[in-house]
Amino acid sequence: MLPVNEKDIVAAIQKVSPAVVSVATLKVIRENFFDTIPLRGLGSGIIFDSNGGILTNHHIVDDADRVEVVTTDGKKFHGEVLGSDATSDVAVVRVDGENLPAVKLGDSDKLVVGKIAIAIGNPYGFLLPGPTATVGVISALKRHIHIEDHMYEDLIQTDASINPGNSGGPLVDSSGMVVGVNTANIPFAQGIGFAIPINTARRIAREIIEHGHVVRPYLGISGVTLSHEIAQSYDIPQEKGVLVVRVGRGSPADRSGVSGGDVILEAESQPLKSWEDLQHLVQNKKVGDKLELSIGRDRDQGKINVVLAEAPR
């Protein structure tokens, strides 16, 4: 008999695999008046609703002219992109289906480093007779990475192999609960893959289904992490916090009196170590929430309350 842990892994893969689909895309690029170039893409998806709701990645379906979904039993469906979000790399696709096999979504907040992680998907288009599974562990949580000038936040890091075409598929725990959506690997670093926490993906999917887009709050500034060197160069008395470089006209920050050259020392009474800290805090708020900022301006210090508004799209 197989050891219990191997049995659990096998059972988890068998439980989730029927709900893993291939997502094939076609984008037509017009080269000139007469000629077009078809660009094809391939990824994976997760049926989370038995009536045809599918989670996948934004980068898979972005600007696609046609989306085709293929299930593990070979059925083909036209896919309608209900909406996608570049910031989180989450997209929702709908197919016209009934009683489709659907996964159960877990709770990514309960993940711990060292827990078994199973990445399931469609690498290189190998879907039939079933998706590919790779097994590893949760290597780290709340990872922030830059890929092609884009910042992805709060990702799950795993050493389960995530290959081209695997993105959009599920990251599963040993009980068969989906805890993440595979999103990226780093080509030059072996054994490092990333997934979007399922709690994030579920929230984004809910907003896409309800609104057609993600309702995201914004502060309306651009800034940089304040360092000793920057402080010396610009004769800034503070040496920690976020230096406000620009304030958008009419933005929440502008309406509340934040100015370029201010240093945001604290947000919600928590010291800010970096620009990324402030971005993360804002992204976890809701439109209409108040954000209390401790501001350093020249040699003075005070507090400003900013009411967050919906980010322009």
- Phi–psi pair at 271, nearest 5 degrees: -60, 140
Of 46, 75, 69, the C-alpha closest to 195 is 46
With the C-alpha atoms ordered 252, 280, 193, 5, is the resulting torsion angle positive or negative?
Answer: negative
- Phi–psi pair at 279, nearest 5 degrees: -60, -45
Q: Which of 17, 44, 88, 167 is catalytic?
A: 167
The torsion of the CA quartet 133, 180, 69, 57, rounded to 10 degrees, works out to -120
Token pair for residue 213? 């887009």
CA dist 80 and 56 (Å) reads 12
Q: Which of 22, 58, 59, 161 is catalytic?
A: 59
Token pair for residue 139? 């290597």
Longest dimension (CA), the chain: 72
Q: Which of 58, 85, 89, 251 is catalytic?
A: 89
Is there a catalytic annotation at residue 89? yes
Evaluate whether 245 touches 222 at the Cβ level (below 8 Å).
Answer: yes
Evaluate whether 200 touches 207 at the Cβ level (below 8 Å).
Answer: no
Evaluate whether 175 touches 169 at the Cβ level (below 8 Å).
Answer: no
Is there a catalytic annotation at residue 144? no
Q: Provide the residue type at 195 as one letter.
A: A
Evaluate whether 158 touches 117 at the Cβ level (below 8 Å).
Answer: yes
Residues 40, 25, 44: CA angle, nearest 5 degrees: 110
Token pair for residue 217? 């709050």
Is there a catalytic annotation at residue 300? no
Q: Annotate 134-145 with b (16+ C-beta within 10 A) or e (fewer).
A: bbbebbeeeeee
Active site residues: 59, 89, 167
